[in-house]
Amino acid sequence: MSASVSSTSVIEKEPASPKVAGTGELELTEMPLLLRESIGQYGGLAALLLQIAHPGVGRGVHDHSEFATRQLDRGEKTAVYVYTMVYGTDEEKSLVRQWVNRAHARVKGGSGDDKYNANDPHLQLWVAATLYASMSAMYERMWGEFPPERAERIYQEYSVYATSLRVPMELWPKDRAAFWEYYWGVVNNDLVVVSEAKEIFYHIMHPKVPFYLRPLVAMLLPINRSFAIDLLPAKVSAGFGLKTETGRGDRLLQRVVLSLYNVTPPFIRYYPKTYYMGRAKTMVKMIKEQGFANLRMRAG
């Protein structure tokens, strides 16, 4: 059984209801409540491994992202995108979307069965799907299953990550039942952990970070790995050389993390949102001043 901690006070109040870009009249009423909760970030490793387990994504990331040497910069830009699509102004969303789409335009290569293109809407759909699958699972670990109507609203609002990547809305599965049919179809038929993905995983688990961040990374990596084992399909875990199910130590670690999170003050729980939206504003300022070329926010 998965660890979970029940709470009724954490995700109740937030006034913002921005509209979802590219999805008609759908408004974000649930995402602003959930995304500010940093517990969702513990699903990040699972999402990333699901992404690169798709050969088209894994080869593209390996060949074009400088993941081995620029992990902080790449991770920060991903987080900026995730937060900006929910909390950003119209201008911030537009510029960050343009940056993402321009960056993806150069990510293509291979031939035959190994051919990939980051602007392939089916690959982009899978990337967005992994965010929903992993982050929503973490929210339910924290607070238990949401009522069906609310769970469906949350699912529909996650489509913002697909449409922002120029995925046609009609490709986003129509409801949660259709989503999980799609998800398991990709897992069973398309995911293969190729050598390029294994190399990326090695660098994820052995990151090159400044010395002052090493204690934090040493603390967070085991937590992220523990949740990833629990969230990933066994096929994917095995492909990356991870255990296919959590042991007693992992389950204890998860219970401790969830229990501590439940009593953590909101300003600490919400800090990643505050931080990355600050970085988003820095990124937007840089885009305005120097354009999209060679946009690097960190040295590493």
Give pLDDT tens digits for 71-130.
Answer: 777 888 899 999 999 999 999 999 999 999 888 888 888 777 778 888 899 999 999 999
Say what the pTM is.
0.88
Instruction: Report how far apart, in Å, the C-alpha atoms of 211 and of each of 52, 66, 161, 206 are.
Output: 27, 20, 33, 13
Tokens in use for 234? 């066994």
Instruction: Let me know if residue 105 belongs to a domain.
Output: yes
DSSP character for 11? Answer: T
Query: Higher confidence at residue 276 or residue 294?
Result: 276
- Number of domains, the chain: 1
Share of the chain above pLDDT 70, in %: 88
Q: Is the residue at 15 inside a domain?
A: no
Does the pLDDT of residue 36 top 70, yes or no? yes
- What mean pLDDT, rounded, does the chain reach? 88
Domain of residue 155: give its range.
31-290
Q: What percentage of residues in the chain have a pLDDT greater than 90? A: 70
Burial of 75 (0-12, 13-18, 19+ CB in 10 A): middle
Quick check: is 6 in a domain?
no
What number of residues does the chain have?
300
Q: Tokens 């970070």: give the residue.
A: 209
Taking alpha carbons only, the member of 69, 85, 171 closest to residue 123 is: 171
Q: Would you say residue 115 lies in a domain?
A: yes
Domain membership flag for residue 85? yes
Residue 72 lies in a domain: yes
Mean pLDDT of 188-206: 95
The runs of H, that is alpha helices, within 106-194 are 121-143, 148-157, 160-163, 176-189
Please list, in sequence order, all residues whose beta carbon lies within 8 angstroms of the beta carbon of residue 49, skipping any fewer than 6 positions away.
201, 228, 232, 236, 240
- pLDDT bracket for residue 68 (50, 70, 90): low
